[in-house]
Amino acid sequence: MAAGTGSRFGAAAPKQFFRLSGKTVLRHAAERLAAEVDLIQPVGDAEPINEALSGVAHLPPVPGGATRQDSVRLGLEVLEAHAPDVVLVHDGCRPFFPPGTIASLLAALQTSEGAIPAVPVSETLKRARADGFIETTVPRALLHRAQTPQAFRFATLLWLHRTAGAGATDDASILEQAGLDVALVAGSEDNIKMTFPGDAARLERVLTPTLLPRVGTGFDVHVLQQGRKLILCGVEVAHEAGLAGHSDADVGIHALCDAIYGALAEGDIGRHFPPSENQWKDMDSARFLAHAASRIAARGGVLGNADVTLICERPKITPHAPRMIARLAEILGVDAGRISVKATTTERLGFTGRMEGIAAQAVVTVLMPAMYA
């Protein structure tokens, strides 16, 4: 059901088209249903619904009626041609219901004509007077808050909608008026109906998986060689020599890639881009870093921060650090505030002190869904 205007939510567009965690509320709801049902019949304005549900299999949207009850009936009339045994009626502004909800509803339909998820009322209930003061306390024993999806035997619900009077606030109440039993199954506090502006923040917390930190480190070194460009952290730096390597030998990016792959427990840069393969010869290392970033996204994670330290006597890194930070942030698709690039020397000790090469080390924090962390 996606025909409402969402006037209480107060947004420019109806609340079912509000975006949460990168998707519209309606798409979240439809994707959860699509995993467990055979057909999805949207009810509401076709253009925004088709746009929101692009890529999700569904029947052509049916225009809504003057009331929710009218809209449900119109959807049921179209579904009759498909002869379903069971129908679920779900609010397009409820983007989340827990796994197992639909299975519980279908089990309850074995012994009843309808079933709904519901949550027992835990707060004390007060009935107010018109002047804003309390009139009385309402006993809460046996009271429940109804949720969707609600499940029904299709033929029963269609017949009752065709014959029922106006005024039903949900489909279960139509069965109640007809004297039919409707079973209750366990609902969830996370099955929030998007109604008021504050609901958006609550739903973001529900839809965003719990993220736990993973840390990775990387180290790389390349020798300086005359006649090569010096590329450090994606930026060309003027210098009398560049770094030798199979690719562009960007020691900063290579260390950063290894740190990311390490945080993901996916090996190192050589595993993904073997130096023995000619296709990577003189390759821009930005390609490698973009791949590392894509591996974070593929596993549902986000980059928390990255810290790169370049180890060399020359060139001076500080004047170039802002550009390096901006370039790494661009490749990784994160805000520059999450990236640090700094430099140090070895006090003229070792190969970097003798200016024979440049080394780099990197540390990253990757926030991963709890299932991976």
Same domain, 151 and 236: no
Number of structural domains the chain divides into? 2
Distance CA 348, CA 31 (A): 60
- Phi/psi at 12 (nearest 5 deg)? -65, -35
- The per-residue pLDDT for 373 is 56
Residues of the chain with pLDDT under 70: 5-13, 371-373
pLDDT at 246: 85
β-strand 235-237 against 230-232: which pairing, if any? antiparallel
The pLDDT value given to residue 7: 57
Residue 372 confidence (pLDDT): 56
* Other Cβ atoms closer than 10 A to 232: 30
Give the residue from 183, 207, 231 where a domain finishes: 207
Q: Are 187 and 145 in contact (CB under 8 A)?
A: yes
The pLDDT of residue 97:
94
> pLDDT value at position 11?
57
H-run or E-run covering 363: strand 357-369
Which pLDDT value is given to residue 247? 85
3-state secondary structure of 38: coil
pTM over 0.75: no
Extract the tokens encoding 342.
């700094």
Q: Are residues 137 and 239 in the same domain?
A: no
> Strands, DSSP E only, in 144-245?
144-146, 150-153, 182-186, 211-226, 230-232, 235-237, 241-243
Domain membership of residue 262 as a residue range: 211-369
Domain boundary, last residue among 180, 207, 234: 207
Report the distance separating Cα 269 and Cα 218, nearest Å.
Answer: 10
**Residue 204: predicted pLDDT:** 85
pLDDT for the residue 6 = 56
